[in-house]
Structure 1
Amino acid sequence: MNASVEIIGVRHHSPACARLVAARLRDWRPDRVLIEGPSDFNDRIEELQRPGHVAPVAIFSYYSDSEHTHHCYAPFSDYAPEWIALRVAPEIGAKVQFIDLPYWHEGSRGRAQVVGDADAARRHRARERALAQRLGLDDGDALWDHLFEQALPTDQLAARLATYFDELRAGELGDASDRARETYMAHCIAHARAEGGRVLVVCGGWHRPALLRLAESATAGPADLHLAVPPSIQRQGSFLIPYSDRRLEALGGYGAGVQSPAYYRWLYEHGAEGAAERALRAVVSRLRAGRQSVSTAGLVAATTRMHLLAHLRGHAQPLRVDVLDGLLDAMSSEALSAPPPWQSRGVLSMQDDPVLREALLALTGDTVGRLAPGTPLPPLVADVNELLERHALAGEGTLQLDRQRDAHRPRLETLWRLRVLRIPGFDYRGSSAPQAARQLGADQYPCEEWHLRPGDTRHVALVEAGAYGPTLQAAALRRLRESVADAAQIDDLAELYVTALRAGYDDFGASVLPDLHAAVLHCTEHGPLGRAGLRLFGLLRNRLGPSDSGVLLLPALDAIVNRVLWLLEGLSAPNQPASTDDVVALQLVDRVLGDDAAGGIVTGSLLDTLHRLGGNADLPPSARGATFGVLWRHAPVDAVETPLLAAVKAYAHGEPLGDFLFGLFALARTECARSSQLLGVLDGVVSAMTEQEFLVAAPALRQAFHYFPPRERAQIGMQVAQRHREGDHVDSDWMRLPCSIDDLRRSARLLASIERLRTRFGL
């Protein structure tokens, strides 16, 4: 390599590499510093060098093609070597330049993956594992800390890094993305070298061997560095956003992140001994705050084990894995079902040991970055802030907004557009309605409740949402279009149609209907069809949207109802357990039959189809029961009662009886409660059951009778008791629980506590 060019290979977010870069910059004092980063940000690189930033921060890059908006992050922690290079370069008067391909460039995305590329990645991981095993270490992270994060002289660290990355790359060409990026970076190096002066390159260590080879012979003029945005890219750009330790955490799912960001910050600022002390203190504080018992003896034991493990592994001071292994040995009293997360490089989940999980979260940290005042932001941020002020939505509190009031409609449209963009802090709590509107589905009630809660995450989400458009109206519409293209189920499409109308996009909502209509013919499940149909039916009743929405909705509803019945007629699953999909599908038919607004759908053959379904013994019991529920409400009683009672008797043995009643009660609860004939048949069927048959049937029966509120269940119980005590007065006390209201309250609190624990630990 030319003596005027030096390439330092680094690991992202490595304190050791950060110290090496800072020392080399101050000692060698190059004229130019080239950093692996998106080159389309070069014109604004001074934004990153503003003194008011608090890391972690990130470059948020995006581009939009005809179908989707894509985005990525280039994060900088305060101990990242790239961040240190950006901060130190101005001190020595060096010019800074990013040299990686822009995110929108096809080469940066690595689309052209082939089998050879995957094989190369596997070989790279195998070499890393082999070296770790040779040194008696668990994985690549422990290997890195062992080799590099201990205190080393700068020259020794640089030589060791170079050898490590050479051995890791081992002459591999890399994948298609590697080759495209490294070719471009080599051109950038050649161009900087041609301009004269010293050039220091800071890049990922994986790329260093290739850049040493390519830059030696590369030549480049301005034309080689010019990258034209292809016509297929409609919009592209980059912005700075605040980042956080939680987002940097590799165990949180970020593949290019670092495990335990807070620990490595302590390591950079205080050295290995100071980091170990702070790590232990943070873990114990978090455990005690969570009411986990950590005794002084346990703390002493953990400290002792931590130092013993460090000495055994040849570490002058405990490193991260020594701290965690020491805590594991001292505080975990049970055998683990899997290796600890820091050894498996997996994703931290609720299934992990609670003590280990809390320890890792303590080492993750809670630092949130902050941008310097005046940092440019996407236009969307200003547009949304102006709308929030105009509509009095910027504060905190709960709002009750009525869609039927003209003054409230713009506020609701703004809130729904923010919800489409998934901006946090705008929580839809549900709907309510005046008495006249309560026949609608609850999600169609006109009065909506929203809870507003400002926070730092809102600002970050708004900056990222700027990738979809410069205004809230344009950005939310773009997001909706992409969601429609990605919708896999017809009920998802129906939900998007409703959301579009709520957000004020009547024309776009109408354009979704043909897609929804076409999806009906490809849907093979009656449950999603039923949910989609109920959503559209609610719109028809509520008249949410344009005045001609009924004309637009009726053909889609007609197609959905016919498809639901066609699918039900093809079912053959007489032993299938009760399913809410069966209930939902028949609820749609029931709503359509009983509403004048959908009169255009009802044909003379609809009830005939339901009669055929009711007589089909191969139908799933809950679907057959729901079918009889619809018939009982809309067909002559004489034509329904006899086959219904015969069906109940046919399910006299075992679990299917409860599944049948589950569907029946869901659609015709009131009619069933008033029918003495049905009650008599049910009483006879249950009384004739053997003890074993009753035990089998009881759970499904109990589930079915939950459709009745307590008062109606009590009335049914009184009627059954009266049948078995002819002439005697039946006292209702026999149905009362022998416990006080205080006992019931304690039981409710206990159940709530159990549910919180179940949710917390993912059980």
Structure 2
Amino acid sequence: MNEGTFTALRTQLQEAATAFADGPGALEGILLGIVDDVDRAVREPLEIFPVCHHSPASALAMARRLREKQPKVVYLELCEDMAPLLTELRNCRLPVAVQAFATEADGFPAEWAPLSVVAPITEASAEYQAIAYALDTPGVELVLVDRSSDHVFQWQERDATAGEPSDPDAPPADAEAALHGDAVGVEIGDLRPRFAELEEHLLRHGRVRHWSEWWHQYVELPLGDSDHDTYRQVMLLIGSLFRRLAPGDPHRVRVDEDRERYMWTRMRRHLAATGTDPADALYVCGAFHAASRVAEFGVHGTDTFEISPPSATKWQHGLIPSSHAAIEAQFGLAAGSVSIAAAEWAKNLKRTRVKPYRLTGQAGTKTRRSTAKADAPVPAAEAVAPDRLTGFLQRPPVLDRLDEEELLGWSVEIVRAARRNGYLASTADAIAVFETSILLAGMRDRAKPTPYDFQDAAVTCIEKDTVPGRRDVRRLVEIMLGGDRVGQVGYDALPPLARDVHDRLAPLNLKLQQRGVQRALLDMASRPELEQCSDVLWMLRRLLPHGAARPIMGERKLGERSIQESWDLALGTHQRALIELGYEGVSIEQVLEQRLRRTAYGPQATTATVLETVEDATLHLRSRRLADELGGRALEVLATERSVDGAPEVLRRVRGLLAYYRTSEPALPQWIESFVKTGYAHYCTLLPTAFTDDDASVRQVAAMLGFLFSMESLALSLGCDRNQLELAMAQSHPEDPDRTALLWAARTQLGTLSRADLRARCDELLGNPLALPAYPRYLSGFLHALEPVPALADFVVEAVSNAFARLPDPVLLPWLPTLITTLRSGGADLTPLLIREAGRVFPGRLAELDTWTPPWRAEPAPTAVRPARGRVSGPSGLPLLAAHPATCDAVAELLGCDGGWEAAAPAPAGAALLARHPHTAQALGALLSTP
């Protein structure tokens, strides 16, 4: 091949090179370099087949070439560790993605975990044609030669932009676009300019909006009818052009070159090990990598590249569902471009009558076998193909009748779809869309309207001021041209965990692999076998994203089990999440146990989160062993915490666990006794600091007091000292009004402050004009005090009533939003107390309100002591005590009285004590005497 062969090619590159080269020397280097790249790739003994990802032209050219050449070995640019999964593609409905997944990153930064690499595969792709040919043709070997998933992350430091869409017009993430999650995407043929100015230049002069439209118009359509040599040279030309005009990012350049060295090293090793003739092999790679200049390029390249060993990360592999929207979102393609490519693929097959390769038994296609045996292969030794570029680039495209009929059909169909969605479209609009599409194509120097021209014409002619339905015209066009196709992984290709879930939910008689929401009704009273299904569903709710398993009726709490449940299930929609569970274990019980342990022993674990894992282990796994282990971990975390941020959650969960163990277990577990004992001492120690700490909220301090007061009896029985709490209260000196009120309530509970003194302090605050603005904050403290001291509900009602009666409007009205917020944040525990107490205190009828007097303002009635019948010598109540000497002796012994019974007048050993306190004995006697 000489320079004269590519004279036409040089002319076409002249304008781009002049615009983007940095001088005459660079211009000459770019021109000669592009020719050298094409020449080098074409002359390589191992045939290089350049492709572009999800390109119907590449898929069509691949199907043709495979039937002509029938290679014995197909080298494919795909992660080499994904090879065992490819045979499972026949059990799936495309598009799907081959995934490598690692829960823990061993040898990588911990913040990268979990690690995930996906390679999406569609039917309209060259890689699928190569896979289907190799797997269904006897005697053909498929070899994946690209870097492994582990090496993808080994080189991640040098490739910080991996997996990020580079298109600013990329579609927004939605439910379908999120099918790949945050995985790093790998694909064959990422063919796109990496020079922003070059892409902008091509889009502007091509009169298109985004890169996908440019590629469809200027590459996809012309190559659809080209022969193999023309297709190959054009793709090599584009790959070399984009590579030589790419910016010199050292990180990305090094990753690209390392991938090429990696692939050629693998291919040479395979050729040497198997003795395969390079003429019987085919190397399928992206056009960007086909035009490589590394020293390891080719069968006769150098062997200086050393492949680094894999890390210690344990990788799991599987198939996950994909979709056109997910592919577009992950690789920065325009919305609808993959659907348009699928429609173009079907159109090319119908026009050219090329028989594509499909895996035998492929879901969603007819069962058929490859017919590669019927075709005769080309001779092994082929002459270098002549220049086909000049004639191809000079050939004007023609708008044939088939395209006109297609455009007319589109125009009629979009009007029909618009009517169904509320648009006032008519036959005249169909004609207008048809003519406008041709007009727009002519204005953009296009030989025939593309789907993008048709889409713009439909929006112009049909969509007026508003969108009457949920979908606009642009979305209707995307749906009409194919829409978003979502793949599905078949039952046989699922991991063991996912198959086990489907088997255990089989009694529900639902199509669980079907997308969408399905309603499941469980009546465990009449069908006890459904209890196992209920257990599985509650665990799935805990493990899968929101919406995969959502309970409508029924709940699962400690000590409670529903006899009827209703669920909305969308396991088919969330199939990817269910499959990824299979990478973590062989059963959902194992995965749940691992996650609970990971949460409890994680570096960010708090006491509240560990107690939550204890509750989940008890609810879902019914494992006393695991609950005790995690409870011991909660005790360790509590002892190391120095803040009270999680005190409300700790209090709520400990109360629930205590109530459960007391009603369902013969004795409390050892860990919870130790937890209460340690927590009592721990919160007593932190209490004085928390009262004055600005970072601790009033709700958190109230939760600490709630723990101390509600667990006090158990803690004291376990050996705790109440003096520690009294000392902590004495050392607490808050300055904020709400914390001060909280301390007063706590002292009332301890008995160091009487109700009368507390009422007097509040009255003093209301009588002090300087303290009135702060009085609402005192009330907020009393409201929070209902958590540790619920017996103060009547006093809080009294305090709030006095505030409404006596506070001036400038103080009262701004406080009302704070009152509502406090009651709302207090949850369901505080508000019912106030409502119930207010209902008891206030009159039930409006007519009684005028004569109603608050109980706290009513005069206390004198207490009349009713004498007992008969004469009693000594304090009233002695006959009762004399009738029950055993009880009196026990009390006397506890009080340290050593006196015995008198012989003349029988009296208990505690008579002297009663004599010193006659009023108590008289009140007790009057209460117990009969009238």
Please, what TM-score do these two structures have when normalized by structure 2? Answer: 0.60
Consecutive unaligned residues of structure 2, counting only runs of 5 or more, are 1-40, 168-192, 349-402, 513-518, 825-829, 855-931
Deviations 1:297-349 (A, max 9, x none): 7777666655544433334444454455455556777899xxxxxxxxxxxxx
Deviation at 1:74, TM superposition (A): 1.8
2:585 is the alignment partner of 1:469: yes
AA matched with 2:611: A
The corresponding residue for 1:478 is 594
SS of the residue corresponding to residue 456 of structure 1 reads coil
Distance 1:117 1:76 in 2: 18
Q: Which residue does the alignment assign to 2:60?
A: 19
CA gap 1:532/1:705 in 2 versus in 1, 3 angstroms: closer
Q: Give secondary structure in 2 for the equivalent of 1:86.
A: helix
Q: 2:319 matched to which residue of 1?
A: 240
Helix, strand or coil at the partner of 2:98: strand
User: 2:614 corresponds to which residue?
Assistant: 497
- Aligned counterparts of 1:460 and 1:418: Cα–Cα separation in 2: 13
One-letter code aligned to 1:141:
S
Match of 1:187 among 254, 265, 271: 265
Look up the equivalent residue of 1:265 and give its one-letter code.
A
1:110 aligns to what? 155
**Deviations along 1:13-63, whole A, 9 cap, x unmatched?**
222332232233334443332222232343564443x4x643112223234
> Which SS does the other structure have where 1:149 is aligned?
helix
Q: How does 1:12-91 map to 2 (within 5 A)?
A: 12-43=53-84, 45-48=86-89, 50=90, 53-63=92-102, 65=104, 70-89=115-134, 90=136
- How far 1:82 sits from its partner (Å)? 1.1
Name 1:583's counterpart in structure 2.
699
Aligned to 2:560: 446
One-letter amino acid of the counterpart of residue 76, structure 1: I
Deviation per CA, 1:731-754, whole angstroms, max 9, x where unpaired?
Answer: xxxxxxxxxxxxxxxxxxxxxxxx
**How many angstroms does 1:387 deviate by?**
4.6
Whole-Å separation in 1 of the counterparts to 2:715 and 2:522: 34
Equivalent position of 2:214 in the other structure: 143
CA gap 1:242/1:162 in 2 versus in 1, 3 angstroms: same
What's the counterpart of residue 576 of structure 1? none
TM-fit CA distance, 1:664: 5.4
Give the Cα–Cα distance (whole angstroms) in 1 for the partners of residues 203 and 324 of structure 2: 30
Whole-Å separation in 1 of the counterparts to 2:473 and 2:835: 49
Question: Which residue does 1:266 correspond to in 2?
Answer: 343
CA distance in 1, matches of 2:284, 2:127: 7
Query: 3-state DSSP class of the match of 1:112?
Result: helix
Q: Corresponding residue for 1:751? A: none
What's 1:535 paired with?
653
In 1, Cα distance between equivalents of 2:161 and 2:99: 31
Q: Tell me, yes or no, if structure 1 residue 166 matches structure 2 residue 212.
A: no
**Alignment partner of 1:699 out of 817, 820, 840:** 817
* Structure 1 partner of 2:495: 378
Q: In the TM superposition, what is the alpha-carbon distance from 1:464 to its structure 2 partner? A: 2.9
**Residue type of the partner of 1:474?**
Q
Q: Is the 8 A contact 1:40 1:102 kept in 2?
A: yes
Distance apart, 1:228 and its partner CA: 6.6
Q: Which residue of 2 aligns with 1:682?
A: 803
Q: Is the 8 A contact 1:189 1:215 kept in 2?
A: no
Residue 385 of structure 2 corresponds to residue 313 of structure 1: no
Residues 124 and 542 of structure 1: CA distance in aligned 2, closer, same or farther (over 3 Å): same
Q: Secondary structure at the match of 1:203?
A: strand
Give the distance between the partners of 1:496 and 1:673, measured in 2 at CA: 37
Distance in 1 (alpha carbons) for counterparts of 2:576 and 2:162: 35
Deviation at 1:645, TM superposition (A): 5.6
Q: Give the aligned partner of residue 547 of structure 1.
A: 669
What's the secondary structure of 2:194's corresponding residue? helix
Give the Å deviation of 1:460. Answer: 5.1
* CA apart distance, 1:467: 0.9
- Amino acid in structure 2 at the alignment position of 1:164: I
| Aligned partners of 2:780 and 2:819 also within 8 Å | yes
Question: Partner amino acid for 1:240?
Answer: L
- Could you tell me which residue of structure 2 aligns to residue 437 of structure 1? none
TM-fit CA distance, 1:76: 0.8
Distance 2:406 2:747 in 1: 72
Residue deviations 1:332-370 (CA, integer Å, cap 9, x gap): 77899xxxxxxxxxxxxxxxx974895598478353334
Give, in whole Å, the separation in 1 of the partners of 2:221 and 2:117.
32
**Aligned match of 1:616:** 734
Question: How far is 1:99 from its partner?
Answer: 1.6
Amino acid at match of 2:649: R
Q: CA separation of 1:193/1:526 partners in 2, compared to 1, >3 Å: closer, same or farther? A: same
- Paired residue for 1:569? 691
Query: Which of the residues 754, 763, 773 maps onto 1:652?
Result: 773
1:678 positional shift: 1.4
Q: For residues 389 and 486 of structure 1, what CA distance do their matches in structure 2 show?
A: 36
Distance 1:145 1:560 in 2: 69
**Do the aligned partners of 1:465 and 1:475 also contact (CA within 8 Å) in 2?**
yes
Give the partner amino acid of 1:540: L
Deviates more, 1:54-63 or 1:589-598: 589-598
Contact 1:572–1:618 (CA under 8 A) maintained in structure 2: no
Distance 2:726 2:529 in 1: 45
Shift of 1:468: 0.9
Per the TM alignment, residue 256 of structure 1 is displaced from its structure 2 partner at its CA by 6.7
1:565 positional shift: 3.9
Deviations 1:579-638 (A, max 9, x none): 9x743662453254124445557844446656876x63437x5x6666666666665534
Larger radius of gyration: 2
Displacement after TM superposition at 1:277 (Å)? 7.9
Counting only pairs closer than 5 Å after superposition, residues 313-332 of structure 1 correspond to structure 2 as: 313-319=444-450, 321-326=452-457
Q: Counterpart of 2:483? A: 365
Contact 2:523 2:530 in 1 (8 A): no
Taking a change above 3 Å as real, the CA distance of residues 729 and 616 of structure 1, as seen in their structure-2 partners, is: closer
- Number of matched pairs: 678
Residue type at the aligned position of 1:210 = S
Native 8 Å contact 2:101 2:315 kept in 1: yes
Secondary structure of 1:214 counterpart: coil
Q: Which amino acid aligns with 1:503?
A: H
Q: Which consecutive residues of structure 1, in runs of 5 or more, have no partner in the other structure?
A: 337-352, 433-441, 574-578, 731-763
Classify 1:522/1:139 alpha carbon distance in 2 versus 1 (closer, same or farther; 3 Å).
farther
- 1:181-206 per-position Cα deviation (integer Å, ceiling 9, x unaligned): 33221123334555212432222344
Equivalent in the alignment of 1:98: 144
Provide the alpha-carbon RMSD of the alignment. 5.3
3-state SS of 1:201 partner: strand
**CA shift at 1:12, angstroms?**
2.2
* Partner Cα separation in structure 2 for residue 55 and residue 594 of structure 1: 59
Match of 1:738 in 2: none
Opposite residue 190 of structure 1, the aligned amino acid is: R
Q: Check the 8 A contact 1:4/1:193 in 2, yes or no.
A: no
1:60·1:74 contact (CA, 8 Å) conserved in 2?
yes
